[in-house]
């Protein structure tokens, strides 16, 4: 977020954004589930120019053993940005930003996972950002959600994530890179299928009424993402379901 956005043009004469989207439109998303053979579940997801890969392992015995919890599974989430994923090379290894994103993303999944059913186990979620263009934490959560399903891990429902923000004085959905860089606010959220918010962060400033407008928009964005996630699952597993029907 930058306060120096006066010289940046965010909208054309038709009110369309720099990438020709309407204010309430998300970037195109494409999804492939089950792309890694060694992981229990995986998902490759592109959202605009973001490219992320999620891999899920578990539930499996937690190692090192001192991390085991006697009454539930430990859920671990590692968000990692590849050094080649950004314009300036990102320094490899964990940093404050990746640790924060990993923590809040793990918490975004805790309410939907049945950790108490797997004492001493670990559910490991790894996300690699291969190409970043604003919104990588939300893209990563959407991919991780589908990788968890692909791993066959029981869940109360999917988690869907999206951001809204304020650019050029207007509330818009799913900020792209220039909007993220030079806009006034960014509000990423994640929510469950029944609308429970499991992650909320805010960078920048919104008035209370702008916040309400952004929340309504971003919840609608999450519902759009949910539909795309469900369609990807149907595409992946419809053939399996049809095979099962043939067997009856
Ligand atoms: O990616 P997300 O919007 O979740 O997180 P951010 O911290 O708001 O970063 C916004 C964008 O800045 C990222 O998506 C990257 O495109 C870029 N970025 C970068 O170029 N170098 C970094 N070390 C971190 C972020």
Q: What is the DSSP string of 23-76?
A: TT-PPPEEEEE---SSSSEEEEEEETTEEEEEEEEEEEE-SSGGG--SSSPEEE
Two tokens at 95? 């940093």
By the 8 A CB rule, do 96 and 37 touch?
no
Question: The CATH number of the domain where 152 resides is what?
Answer: 3.30.230.70
51 C-beta closer than 6 A to ligand 1: no
Question: Count of residues for the chain?
Answer: 248
- Closest atom, ligand 1, to C-alpha of 135: 3
Q: Flag whether 71 is in a domain.
A: yes
Domain containing 170 equals 29-247
Q: Flag whether 218 is in a domain.
A: yes
Backbone dihedral angles phi then psi of residue 77, each to the nearest 5 degrees = -135, 120
- Closest atom, ligand 1, to C-alpha of 88: 20
Q: Which residues contact 3 (CB under 8 A, 6 or more apart)?
A: 184
**CA-to-CA separations, 143 to 168, 178, 198, in angstroms, rounded:** 30, 23, 16
Residue 2 confidence (pLDDT): 59
Burial 12-39, CB ≥16 within 10 A → b, else e: eeeeebeeebebebbbebebbbbbbeeb
Q: Flag whether 7 is in a domain.
A: no
Residue 44 confidence (pLDDT): 98
Q: Flag whether 2 is in a domain.
A: no
CA angle 72, 75, 76 (to 5 degrees): 150
Two tokens at 189? 């959220």
Residue 242 confidence (pLDDT): 73
Phi-psi region of 2 (alpha: psi -120 to 50; beta: other; left: phi over 0): beta
136 C-beta closer than 6 A to ligand 1: yes
132 C-beta closer than 6 A to ligand 1: yes
Q: Flag whether 1 is in a domain.
A: no
In a structure prediction context, what are the per-residue pLDDT tens digits for the chain, which is 248 residues long? 655 555 789 999 999 999 999 999 999 999 999 999 999 999 999 999 999 999 999 999 999 999 999 999 999 999 999 999 999 988 899 999 999 999 999 999 999 999 999 999 999 999 999 999 999 999 999 999 999 999 999 999 999 999 999 999 999 999 999 999 999 999 999 999 999 999 999 999 999 999 999 999 999 999 999 999 999 999 999 877 777 666 65
- Mutating to test ligand 1, I would choose from 79, 82, 180, 200 the residue with most ligand atoms within 8 A of its C-beta, which is 180
Number of domains comprising the chain = 1
Q: What is the CA radius of gyration of the chain?
A: 19
Q: Flag whether 16 is in a domain.
A: no
By the 8 A CB rule, do 113 and 75 touch?
yes
Q: Flag whether 140 is in a domain.
A: yes
User: pTM of this prediction?
Assistant: 0.95
- Closest atom, ligand 1, to C-alpha of 134: 14
Three-state DSSP class for 22? coil
135 C-beta closer than 6 A to ligand 1: yes
Residue 4 confidence (pLDDT): 53
- Closest atom, ligand 1, to C-alpha of 87: 20
Q: Flag whether 52 is in a domain.
A: yes
């Amino acid at each position: 977020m930058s306060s120096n956005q006066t010289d940046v043009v965010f909208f054309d004469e038709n009110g369309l954004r720099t990438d020709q989207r309407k204010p309430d439109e998300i970037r195109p998303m494409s999804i492939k589930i089950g792309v890694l053979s060694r992981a229990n579940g995986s998902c490759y997801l592109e959202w605009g120019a973001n490219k992320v890969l999620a891999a899920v392992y578990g539930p499996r015995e937690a190692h090192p053993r001192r991390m085991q919890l006697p009454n539930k599974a430990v859920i671990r989430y590692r968000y990692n940005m590849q050094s080649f994923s950004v314009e300036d090379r990102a320094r490899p290894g964990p940093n404050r930003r990746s640790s924060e994103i990993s923590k809040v993303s793990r918490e975004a999944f805790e309410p939907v996972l049945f950790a108490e059913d797997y004492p001493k186990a670990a559910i490991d979620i790894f996300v690699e950002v291969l190409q970043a263009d604003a919104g990588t934490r939300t893209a990563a959560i959407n991919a991780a959600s589908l990788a968890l399903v692909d791993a066959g891990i029981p869940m109360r429902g999917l988690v869907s994530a999206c951001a809204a923000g304020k650019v050029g004085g207007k509330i818009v959905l799913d900020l792209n890179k220039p909007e993220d860089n030079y806009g006034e606010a960014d509000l990423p959220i994640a929510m469950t299928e029944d609308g429970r918010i499991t992650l909320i962060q805010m960078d920048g400033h919104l008035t209370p009424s702008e916040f309400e407008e952004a929340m309504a928009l971003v919840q609608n964005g999450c519902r759009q993402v949910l539909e795309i996630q469900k369609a990807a699952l149907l595409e992946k597993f419809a053939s399996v379901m049809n095979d099962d029907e043939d067997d009856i």
